[in-house]
Amino acid sequence: MLKKLLFPFILASTTIFGEFVQFTDEDYNLYRTSQDWMAAQQITLNVKKGYSVYLLNYTRSWYENLPDLGDPSYAAGYDMSANHYGYVYAELDAEGNLVPAGDIHYANGTTKEVTVKNPNGPQTQTLTGYYLDTFDRDGEIFIIMTPNGFDGTVNSYDLVNAPGYESYLESRQINTYDLTGQTRVNFGTIDDIGHEFVIGYEASPEPSGQPLPGVLVSSIVGMCTVGVISKRRHRRKE
């Protein structure tokens, strides 16, 4: 009896904490840069402790095989091998400007299959997700990428190695959405290719400050009590 009662709770816990969730507009921040056009703003992403973050291609169809974001033959993709993409934390400097702070955290190129769902129907797509990192603290981060066809990295913060009008990177945008309704990050380059991707995460199975574990324990204790009482009643009838 107790096993039957526990199973829905175990299943619910797995569903809540094992689900892949894509970041939305509310998770991104935009800041003006030295490039004086609106499509070249800084882009940062808010992450939380316990998030395991993945990058993948955006969903543009439910009925065709979509390119792998890291496929070298995909012109609009990226080099997603180890040490070719990553992130750096964002902090305010003494003048109040948002700047990259600390070391660049390069990813190791680990992948996993990620299934995304059509919010308006039964369709799904399975894509390759590229692991960014599992975060040990809340923070605001810049993204660093290596577009296919380009020998070097671009980033979502202000350009520091070249004047704004001489950079390979012409734009940084988050103003379009894929078929799941999620934000597409677009790094536009001088070859007129928009290198796009979406970002999502899986939450830690033990997020801090969440009431669910305590509720779950209380429910288990309550179910055990009910089970014992029911068993005693059964014995009395005998």
Q: pTM (2 decimals)?
A: 0.77
**pLDDT higher than 80, residue 220:** no
**Cβ contact 124:116 at 8 Å:** yes
φ/ψ region of 210 (left if φ > 0, alpha if ψ in -120 to 50, else beta) reads beta
For residue 209, which phi and psi values (nearest 5 degrees)? 75, 10
**pLDDT higher than 80, residue 167:** no
Which residue is it, tokens 């970002």?
A: 199
Q: Based on the fold, state whether residues 7 and 29 are members of the same structural domain.
A: no
Q: Based on the fold, state whether residues 132 and 163 are members of the same structural domain.
A: yes
**pLDDT higher than 60, residue 221:** no
**Pairwise CA distance, residues 128 & 55, whole Å:** 8
**pLDDT higher than 80, residue 155:** yes
Burial class (CB within 10 angstroms; exposed 0-12, middle 13-18, buried 19+) of 104: middle
Q: Based on the fold, state whether residues 134 and 213 are members of the same structural domain.
A: no
Q: Based on the fold, state whether residues 143 and 60 are members of the same structural domain.
A: yes
| pLDDT, tens digit (0-9, with 9 covering 90-100), for 17-36 | 458 898 989 999 998 776 66
Tell me the pLDDT band of 144, cut-offs 50, 70 and 90: very high
Amino acid code (one letter) for 99 = V
| pLDDT, tens digit (0-9, with 9 covering 90-100), for 198-209 | 999 998 765 444
Q: Based on the fold, state whether residues 153 and 232 are members of the same structural domain.
A: no
| pLDDT, tens digit (0-9, with 9 covering 90-100), for 65-94 | 999 999 999 999 999 999 999 999 999 888
